[in-house]
Structures are given as structure tokens and as C-alpha cells.
Amino acid sequence: MFTANKKVDKLLTLYLPLTMLLSFTIFPIYWTLNTAFKPEGDIVKRPLQYMPINPTTENFVTAWTNVGFATFFKNSLIVGVSTVLVVLVCSTLSGYALSRYQFKGKRSFMIMLLCTQFIPRAMMIIPLFVIFKNLGLISNPLSLIITYTAIEIPFTTILMSGFISNVPKELEEAAVIDGCTKLQALRFVVFPLLLPGIVATGVFTFIYTWNEFLIALMLTNQQSKFTLPVGLSTMMGEFSINYGALAAGSVIALIPAVILFAYAQKHLVNGMGGAVKG
Amino acid sequence: MIKKKMTTAFFALTMATGMLLTGCGGEEQAATKTKKEAAKSDEPVTLQFWDENAGPARTPVWEEVIKRFEEKNPNINVEYVGIPNSSAKSKYDAAIAADDMPDIGSVQTTWLPEFSIREALLPLDSHFEKSDISKKINPSATGVNKKITQDGKLYGIPYAQNLDALWIRTDWFEQASVQEPKTWDEFFTVIEKMRDQANNRYGFTIRGGAGASFTIQRAMFAYSGLDFFDKNGKTNINDPKHVEFVEKYFSYYDKLTPKSDITNGYKEMIAGFDTGVVAMVHHNPGSYGEHNKALPAGSYKLIPLPTTEKGQYVAEGGNAVNLAIFKSTEHADEAWKFVEFVNSEEAQSYWNQQTGQIPTNSDVLDDKWVQDAQHIKTAFEVYNNPDTKLYEPPFYLPDYRAILDGVVDPGVQAVMSGKMSAKDFLDEWAKAIEDSKAKYDQTFKK
Amino acid sequence: MSYSQGVTETVVNSNKAVNRKKIKKDKWVPYLFILPSFLIILGFLFYPIATVFYYSVQHYDVSAPYYNGFAGLENFKEIFTNDKMFIPSLMNSLKWVVTEVGLQLTFGMILALLLNQTFKFRGVIRAVAFIPWAISGVLASTMWSLMFNEHMGVLNDLLMKMGIVDEPQAFLASTSTAFTSVIIAELWRGIPFFAITLLASLSSIPVELYEAARVDGASRWKSFIYVTLPQLKNTIVLTTLLRVVWEFNNVDLLFNLTGGGPAHSTTTLTMYIADLAVHGSNFGYGSALTVVSFGILLVFAILYLKLSRYEKE
């Protein structure tokens, strides 16, 4: 009786809503996969095929080999990883300052961070182009790393400051009294508790750089320096859209992100609870 | 130790930022220096070429053309940069504004007046006149290019033209024993006749989304056969003939054409045709590849837009893509070699055959593939017909495109959804054109 | 572990006065910490933002350089007195932002709470649930437009198979469904954003708090209201604020799915700006509109932070 009740309870509060939300999430992904494995003619054919009748990997081959996809993939990876590293350092530091210190100009700094997000990116393209042209960095991954870092810092700083606030100040202070230096306290006490936050911040930054299109297109004048989204967008010409190759290319592009999520989600568990328990 | 590491990292970062900030002046000088050095040496020259309509269909074709060019000119490298069509104009805009342009660019005719007035392009008249290709390239296409620029110079060599036309499902027409429409009256009757509720088939699909303005403009001028401006410099946009046409054309929406037409862009419209929902679509030979993939051979073909009441074909001037050389290039002669090569019979023939566009080099006309390609041949015949009327929209008006995007596109949707009358729509359009023209004339013709 | 045990024990005995003194001595520390971020933003975003303000008082049309020149407040006058698109597009922005953020937050919260429970294959399911966030704008818009399509869209096919509709619907074409359709597509992409941040925050709530609540006999709902929500407050306030700003400026899907139509019914202010500036190359007027939207967002942000009593218990 008791266990039956518990089962019904779990069904209503967990499995049912989760299934509903997940079907909404999964369907378009499934449809992308379905499209990616269909030969070109079958994609727009009716009746619709819910499973590819003539499954093929031809689209993946097209995407990977024909359009320099491997190069785009590598470029995106370089930009993504570098941006994540720089962003994490900067935002952990500034997030720490925001959550742990009261200082003059704190409010102004916050407002400044927010203000950077108020301008549509499309309006910043030409001035950004001018800056990087003067620095001689057009078509150089550095231009993207810098721009993405600047654009991501406000959000990640605010995010990190939130996560840091969640770590009780007392823990850190206690460590300092125990004879740790401030930095040791950060390293051994705050950092482990902060890991979920750092992981989430890193994931956000990576995904942003992985998918950003407009700035990457504008600041790159060499085909061999294109990032993935720019490369993918050239699969849709005005007179032809290769849905299959686009879907296949996107599926390939998804792989690192999925691996990242699989890794990241492990850290989004009760890290805090574990540390304080005892 | 940790402290040391963190401090080092921190200082490295600050220093890097500082260097970047102060690096401005130095980098720039260095850049100009290397450019000068490059110009002096005899080393292979690299030209950057921007394709304004990159995609799976065109990119490989360009790569092949470039390969052939490089084989003939071993000391010139052409670096291809493919830009997706929807972002191409803004990419050029930023490049021109920041003075960092490619050597050669593929440029739509409508951009020529603007780019030339922004002093981004090199006039090509003298190169062109000295070259053999001047005898081959369709003079009406180069004529339009000269006419629309402020100084009357030639800034782009058209390497492909396009023509609005109708794709029709010949098999359905036969089944229903309906004739191909020759006049606009017949066209409207066909829409009615080909509606097949039982099979969920429509006679026609209207482009109401992105690009609607081009389609309606070309359709209504094809109906009226008027010029864009009358003798007194007033626009004919809101001529009663156009009002009559637009009213009728859009009245079919949602009754005899699909409801989704109102946001139809290129891909939706073509999907309607290729999935077997509509019998007729107003596009151009460029979509041949898509139909070829989706529909059985012989079940579709291209026919010209219906004629005016007088039986005349009408085409919009300047429906072409050009190669232009940017002023900032250090290798104008080499760049011209590439332009010349792309416009040679060999390259134009290959390029246009692969992409389904209409060549401008008259030598290509005799090629076997042109004679065999029904859609190209049809379009060619329209351009070659001495009676075909060409009207020239004022591409030189700086807000010509903005008016199409900002007034005409939404106006089309307003008329389709019944929120605006055809007359009000055309009046608004005409007024926008006239205001812009008055402002322009005032600036340039004092 | 033993180390943190030691820490917790000492927490009780900690002497706060000592720490206060220490913090005072390190007055320069926070400035040092924010310096890298500050420099990068100043170096690379200040100029682009300043340009927008500068051009807002100029006639600046990249395609017609001969008209360019100082405009004073003319652009602004035009916006407020003559521009028929300004108010409707602002209203659309409002509608877009409120629905999008509201729904994303609600569903994101539900998803985070669900994924925070323990069940079989949790790792895989979590990774899958986050995938939409990782899908690029190019693919998301192409896939959704393919699925919404009247003739070959899978949604119509499904709905017809289930007998919900009799004939194919043109979801993106009718003023009554276009907005909702894009909302759904964007919602699909936005839920994981909240789910991830909230899940990260949920992870940092001490288990003791829930245990205490359970001892007090609080129901699940009550412990959500009295334990979870207050702990998540700062995260919610800040992520919602940022999301509002982002959604305000987000035109990806709108642009690709409806292009602002039919008849401007899905044109938001940012989309209008993008149309003007990027496609119409009228950067002067576009900048003026951007300045106006900048003002609106700034006032909103300040009010929002005040009213939500951010950082106050």
C-alpha cells in the first residue's frame, strides 16, 4: 500500500511531467536526425517519412568533406576553449569582488555590465570591425576570442557573483582563521563548492561561442578561418538549401556540446550539501 | 605557490589587455608596410574574391572556375570567400565603412550605384574597352550598369543574368487540358482552373514574405509594359493599370492560393511547387536544380511571364550579377585578368550551366547545353527578342532597397490581409520613390 | 572531507571582528579583481556603444554618404512624432519579452526541479534535456520552419493524423498563430537556459535546510516556497533580468521564421532597428532608435533591481 502510493506519487510528480517536457524537447532533435539520414529528394517528399525509408550517411559525408567542415570545427574549438578560459578567470575574479566586497563604484560597475547588453549586436559590427582592423586582427581568432569575452563577461560575472554569494562567507573566514591565506581559502574551500557554478558558466560561454554567427561572419574575411555557424550558413544559398547536409552538419556540430553537457551535468549535483554535511 | 600562480596569470592577462589597447598605432603601421613590400616583389599575387551568394550549389562551381584560372595564371592565387546571401550586403557595408575590402567581389547590379558613390569600386571602362570580352558581353546589361551610376562609368561586368519567369507543372496542365498562359488574363484563368480541392492542389502561390517586393514589381510592370518614370519624371508605380493588376493579383490569396503565401519566402514558395501542392510559381531559372531534385523530368518547365496586352515581353533591367574590382586593391591588373577570365566563353559557359543562370557572353548561346536546357533557352529568347521591353528601376536612389524592404514588403502583406487597399499601397510606394528622387535630384542636379 | 568538517566546527566559534578588520585592510583588492573584466569591456565594447550614441544625433546612411551630417535631435523627433512603426514594434517587444521570459522561467524551473531528483538514467536525460540550448540559430530556425511548413511540415502531418485539424494550417502566415508559433520555437530553445542556471543554484542549497523543513512537517509545496525560492532568489532575479534584455534584442528566430510579418505583426523594436540599420543601412536613425531602447532597458533594469530588492533578504 505504502509503496504503491509512493509509486503513484513519483509518477505524477516526476515521470509524467518529465516525459511531457522531454517529448517537447526531443521531437525537433529527432526530426533533425531523421532529416540528416534521409537522401536529399526524400526530405521534402510527401507522404512524410517518420523514419528514413532509404537511410543514408551521404549527408554526413557531404557536410564533413565538401565544405571544409573539419576546418570550421577546429576553428570553433580554438575560439570556444580559449574564450571559456579567459572568461572563467575574469568572471570568477570580478564575481568574487561583487559578492564579497562593498566598494565604491560597485553599483556603477554593475550598471556598466548591464549596459553592454542593451545594444543589439548588429549595431556594433562596424565599430568592432574598425577596432580589429586597426589591430590587424581581422580573420584572426583572437578578434573573436576578445569580442566574445567582452560580451560574455557581464553575464558570467553576474552569474558567478550569484554562485559565490551562495557559498557561506563564514566557511571562508573560518579557513582564514585556521591559518590559510586568502588565496588558499579560495582554492580549498570556495572553489570546490563553486564547481557547479563554474561548470555552468563555462558551459554557457562555450555554447555561446559555438553558435555565434553574426560577429564571426563579420570579423572573418578568410574562408579557412570561418567558424562552424558561418560554415553552416553557407549551406543555405538563395537558390538552394541542402536541408540534409545542414541537418547532418548541425548534428556533427552538436556532438561536442552534448559531450560537454554529459560531463557538466555531473557537477550540477548537491556539491554544497556534501561539503557542509558532517 | 598558488598565490604566485594566480598573480602571474593575472598580470599576464592585464598586460595582454594593455598591449592590445596600446597596440593600435603600431600594428597599423606594420600592416601598411607589409602591403607596400608585397607590391614591389615579384612573388605570386594573392587576390581575395568574395562570393555574395555562397551555398552548396555555387561554392564548388566557383572553386572549379578559380582552379581553371590559376592553372592558366600560375603566379596569381585567388582566395575564395563565400558569404551567405542574406548577410552579404551588410558584410560589404562593414568592409567599405572600415576600408578593408576584398580585391574582387561578386556584386548585384542594384549595389553598383551605392558602392561607386562610396568610392569603393574601380571604374572598369578602359580595361573593358581594351578587352575582347567587350564585343561579347550583352550590351544592354553593361548599358544598365553605366546608366544607373552617378558618373555613368562601368563599375561591374555582368557575368550572369536572371529573368523572372513561371515554372509550371506540365503534367498537371495536360491532365486538366489547360493551355500554358500567354497573357495575364489567361494566367488568372489558369489559377482558377488548376485549383483542385480534392487533391489539395493550388494553381499558383504568391510570394508574400521576404522578396515579395521584387516579385510584385516585376509582375505589374510585365502586365502594364510601362516605364518606371513617365516623361515628366513622375513614377508610374501608382498608374491605374498597376492598381487594377495588384487588386486582382492579391484577390486570389487565401481563396485560390495557399494561406501560408503571406509569409512565403523563396524556400517556402519553392517547397510548395516541389512537394506537388502548386501548379505554377513565379521565380526564375535559378531554382532549376531544386525542381530537378524533387520532380520527375518532363513534369515541369519554365515559361516566360505573360505578355502585355500588346503581346510584348517585359524584363527588369539590371537583374544581373557582376564582378567588380575594389579600389583598395594593389593588383588591379591581376584582378582584371580574373574578371576577364570569368567572363570568357569557357568560364561563363561552365558557371552558368552549373548554376542555371543566363550567360551574358553571346558566344555561349551556341553551346549545346544551352540549346538543350529548356529553361535557359526560354529565358535567353526573351532577352534576345528585339521587342522585349526593358524598364529600369532607379537603383541609384540610396533608399531604393529600403523602400522595397520597408514600404513594399509590408505593404504587400497589408493588401493580402485586407488591411490596405491596392490603391493606397501603390500611392504610398509611389510617394516614397518620389520623395527619395526629389531629395536625390536636389543633391546632384543643382 | 575531514578538512571541511574542521571548517564547519570553527564556523561556530569564528570571531567576526577579526575578519572585518582584515577586509578593511584589503581595500584595493576588489578593484584588482574587477580590473581584467573592466579593461576588456572598456577596450572593446565602449567604442562600439559610444558610436551608437554619436550616430544617433547624425544623419548617417552608409549607402548615401552625401546626405550625412549633424542631425541634432531630428532623429528623435521623427521617432516620437512621425514614426508609425515605433509604438507597435515596442508593444510587440513587450509581448515577446514578457511571454518568452515568463514561460521560460516557469518551465525552466519545473525542469530543474525534476532533474534535481534522483532517478534512473538521470545523467543521460539531463544531457538530452539541455540539447536545445546547444543548437545554433541557423539550425533552430531552419528546422522549425521546416516543421511549421504548410505543405511538408511534420506538425501539420501529426495534427491531421490525430484528427485535430482537417486541413494543413499555415502557422506562420496567420496573424493569430504566427506569434505563438515563434514563441513556441524560442521557448524550446530557452527553457534549458533557466534549467541549467537554476539547477546549478539548486545544487548549492544546503540539504540541512530541507531536512529542517521536513522535521517541521512542511509539505513539499511549502518547502519549495519557504526554502527553495528564497535561496534561488538572487539567481532568479539576475538571470531573469539578463534574459529580458537578451530576448528584447533577440531576433534570430523571428527573422527567419516570419521575417516580422505577416503585416508587421511580429516585428519587435529590435527587429525594426535591424531592418533599418542593417538592411536599409540607415545607421543614424537606427542608432537613435537604439538609444531609445537603451533608455527603456536601463530604466527597466534599475527599477527591477530596486523593486525585487536584489541582494536584500
Summarised one tens digit per residue, pLDDT across range B157-186 is: 999 999 999 999 999 999 999 999 999 999
What's the pLDDT at B69? 97
Distance CA C56, CA B158 (A): 38
> Measured between alpha carbons, how far is A223 from A236 in angstroms, rounded to an integer?
16
Which tens digit of pLDDT belongs to each residue from B238-295? 999 999 999 999 999 988 999 889 888 888 888 889 888 999 999 999 888 888 888 8
Question: Among B260, B398, B405, whose Cβ lies nearest the Cβ of C63?
Answer: B398
The verdict on B106 touching A (C-beta cutoff 8 Å) is no
Distance set, CA A61 to CA A37, A140, C141 (Å): 11, 28, 23
Instruction: List CB contacts (< 8 A) between A239 and chain B.
Output: 53, 55, 57-58, 266, 286-287, 289-290, 355-356
Contact C142 A243 (CB under 8 A): yes
| Nearest C-alpha in B relative to C272 | B406
- Taking only residues 140 to 169 of chain A, the set having a beta carbon closer than 8 angstroms to any beta carbon of chain C reads 146-147, 149-151, 153-155, 157-159, 162-163, 165-168
C173 interface with B at CB cutoff 8 Å: yes
Q: B340-378 b/e with 16+ CB inside 10 Å = b?
A: bbbbbbebbbbbbbbbbbbbbbeebbebeebeebebbbb
Percent of all residues in chain B with a pLDDT value above 90, rounded to a whole number = 59
What is the rounded CA–CA span in Å between residue B14 and residue A52?
A: 54
Mean pLDDT lowest among A164-178, B288-302, C96-110: A164-178
Quick check: helix, strand or coil at residue A223? helix
More confident residue, A275 or B360: B360
Residue B6, pLDDT score: 43
> Quick check: C53 and C287 in contact, CB under 8 A?
yes
* Percentage above 70 pLDDT, chain C: 90
- pLDDT of B224 reads 95
> Which pLDDT value is given to residue B444?
81
pLDDT tier at A2, thresholds 50, 70, 90: low
User: Which residue of chain A has the CA closest to C35?
Assistant: A94
Task: Yes or no: say if A107 and C311 are a contact pair by the CB < 8 Å rule.
Answer: no
Q: Is the Cα torsion angle A220, A223, A227, A230 positive or negative in sign?
A: positive
Q: What sections of chain C are H helices per DSSP? A: 2-13, 16-25, 29-44, 46-56, 74-81, 86-115, 122-134, 137-148, 154-161, 178-203, 207-215, 220-223, 229-249, 252-257, 269-274, 283-307
Q: Would the CA dihedral through A127, A129, A132, A133 be positive or negative?
A: negative
pLDDT category, A137, cuts 50, 70, 90? very high
- Dihedral sign for Cα atoms in the order C292, C296, C301, C306: positive
Instruction: Check C281 against B402: CB less than 8 A apart.
Output: yes
Contact present, C81 and A194 (Cβ < 8 Å): no
Q: Determine the residue of chain C that is closest to B200 in CA distance.
A: C167
Whether C27 has a pLDDT exceeding 90, the answer reads: no
Yes or no: say if B109 and B52 are a contact pair by the CB < 8 Å rule.
no
Which residue bears the cell 564575481?
A95
Q: A28 is written with which cell numbers?
A: 525537433
- For chain A, report the end-to-end CA distance as a whole number of angstroms: 35
A226-250 tens-digit pLDDT: 998 888 887 766 656 678 888 888 8
Burial of A226 (0-12, 13-18, 19+ CB in 10 A): buried
**Listed range (A97-106, B163-172, C20-29) with the worst mean pLDDT:** C20-29
Q: Which is higher by pLDDT, A157 or A11?
A: A157
Bridge pairing between strands B104-108 and B45-54: parallel
Backbone angles phi, psi at A52, to 5 degrees: -60, 125
Please identify among residues 52-91 of chain A the ones whose CB lies closer than 8 Å to any CB of chain B.
62, 66-67, 86, 89-90
Chains in contact with C, where contact means 3 or more Cβ–Cβ distances below 8 Å, are A, B
How confident is the model at residue C191, as a pLDDT? 94
Residues of A whose CB is below 8 A from B3: 181, 183-184
pLDDT digit string (tens) for B186-211? Answer: 999 999 999 998 888 999 999 998 88
The strand pair at B165-168 and B301-304 is best described as antiparallel
Which residue of C35, C62, C85, C252 is the best one to mutate when testing the B interface, meaning the one whose CB has the most B CBs within 10 A?
Answer: C62
pLDDT at C281 over 90: no
pLDDT of residue B30: 42
Q: What's the CA gap between A186 and A194, in Å, rounded?
A: 10
pLDDT higher than threshold 60 for residue B40: no
pLDDT band at C58, cuts 50/70/90?
very high
pLDDT at B243: 97
Of the candidates A66, A89, A237, the beta carbon closest to that of B85 is on A237
Q: What is the pLDDT of residues A52-88, one digit of tens each?
A: 888 998 888 877 876 678 889 999 999 999 999 999 9
Q: In sequence order, what E strands does chain A have?
A: none
Alpha carbon B112 to chain centroid distance? 12
Check C147 against A28: CB less than 8 A apart. Answer: yes
Is residue A278 within 8 angstroms of chain B, CB to CB?
no
Q: Is the CB of C62 inside 8 Å of chain B's CB atoms? A: yes
Which residues of chain B neighbour A67 with C-beta distances below 8 Å?
56, 59
Tell me whether B82 touches chain C (CB under 8 Å). Answer: no
How far from chain centre, in Å, is Cα C25?
A: 39
DSSP B108: E
Helix A169-177 with C2-13: angle, nearest 10 deg: 100
Tell me if chain A has a CB within 8 Å of the CB of B275: yes
Q: Across the interface, do B56 and A146 touch by the CB < 8 Å criterion?
A: no
Q: Which of B77, C185, B218, B420 is nearest to A25 (CA)?
A: C185
Of residues B25 and C58, more confidently modeled: C58
Q: What pLDDT does residue C3 have?
A: 40
Supply the pLDDT for residue B375: 92
Is B402 in contact with C282 (Cβ distance < 8 A)?
A: yes
Residue among C163, C231, C153 at smallest CA distance from C185? C153
Q: Which of A91, A32, B266 is nearest to C189 (CA)?
A: A32
Pairing of strands B45-54, B76-84: parallel
How much is the average pLDDT of B329-348?
Answer: 95
Chosen from C22, C24, C25, C33 to mutate, greatest number of chain A CBs within 10 A: C33
Q: What percent of chain C has pLDDT over 90?
A: 38
Q: Binning pLDDT at 50, 70 and 90, where does residue B18 land? A: very low
Under an 8 A CB cutoff, do A14 and C119 touch?
yes
Between chain B and chain C, the number of residue pairs with CB atoms below 8 A apart is 129
Confidence of residue B12 (pLDDT cuts 50, 70, 90): very low
Cα distance between residue C123 and residue B85, in whole Å: 41
Sign of CA pseudo-dihedral C96, C102, C107, C112:
positive
pLDDT of residue B10: 42
Residues B107, B322: contact at Cβ < 8 Å? yes
DSSP code per residue over B198-236: TTTBBS-B---STTHHHHHHHHHHHHH---SB-TTS-B-
Answer yes or no: is pLDDT of B23 > 70.
no
- Copy the grid coordinates of residue C83: 514614426
How much is the mean pLDDT over chain C?
84
Whether the CB of C263 is below 8 Å from some CB of chain B: the reply is yes
Spell out which residues of chain B touch residue C149, defining contact as CB-CB under 8 Å: 260, 268, 271
Is A133–B99 a contact, with Cβ atoms under 8 angstroms apart?
Answer: yes
Residue B281, beta-bridge partner list? B167, B205
Length of chain B: 446
Q: Mean pLDDT check: name the lowest of A3-12, B219-228, B305-314, B343-352.
A: A3-12
* DSSP structure string for A38-70: S-HHHHT-SSPPSS-SS--SHHHHIIIIIT-HH
Residue by residue, what is the 3-state secondary structure of B30-93?
HHHHHHHHHHHCCCCEEEEEEEEEECCCCHHHHHHHHHHHHHHCCCEEEEEEEEEHHHHHHHHH
Question: How many beta carbons lie within 10 A of that of residue C211, not counting itself?
Answer: 12
Give the pLDDT confidence score for residue C25 in this predicted structure.
Answer: 59
Note the pLDDT of residue B31.
43
CA distance C43 to chain B (A): 6
B345: contact with C, CB 8 A cutoff = no
Mutation for A interface: C34, C224, C304, most A CBs within 10 A: C34
> How far is A161 from chain C, CA to nearest CA, in Å?
9
**Chain C: residue whose CA lies nearest to B9:** C36
ipTM field: 0.84
In chain A, which residues have their Cβ closer than 8 Å to the Cβ of B58? 237, 239
Distance CA B390, CA C60 (A): 34
**What pLDDT shows up at residue C12?**
39
- B29/B307: higher pLDDT: B307
Mean pLDDT of all residues belonging to chain B? 87
Neighboring chains of A (3 or more beta-carbon pairs < 8 A): B, C
DSSP code at position C117: S
Q: Can you give the pLDDT at residue C232?
A: 85
Sheet holding B280-283, edge to edge: B280-283, B165-168, B301-304
- Please report, as a single letter, which amino acid is at residue C36: P
Question: Hey, is B422 helix, strand or coil?
Answer: helix
Q: How many CB pairs under 8 A join A and C?
A: 324
| Model confidence pLDDT, tens digit, residues C176-227 | 889 999 999 999 999 998 998 888 888 777 777 888 888 888 888 888 888 8
B79 neighbourhood in chain A, CB within 8 Å: 222-223
Instruction: State the average pLDDT over residues B141-166.
Output: 92
Contact state of C149 with B443 under an 8 Å Cβ cutoff: no
Q: Please report, rounded to a whole number, the percentage of residues in chain A having pLDDT higher than 70.
A: 92
The rounded mean pLDDT for chain A is: 84
B60 close to A (CB below 8 A): yes
Given a cut of 90, is residue C135 above it in pLDDT? Answer: no
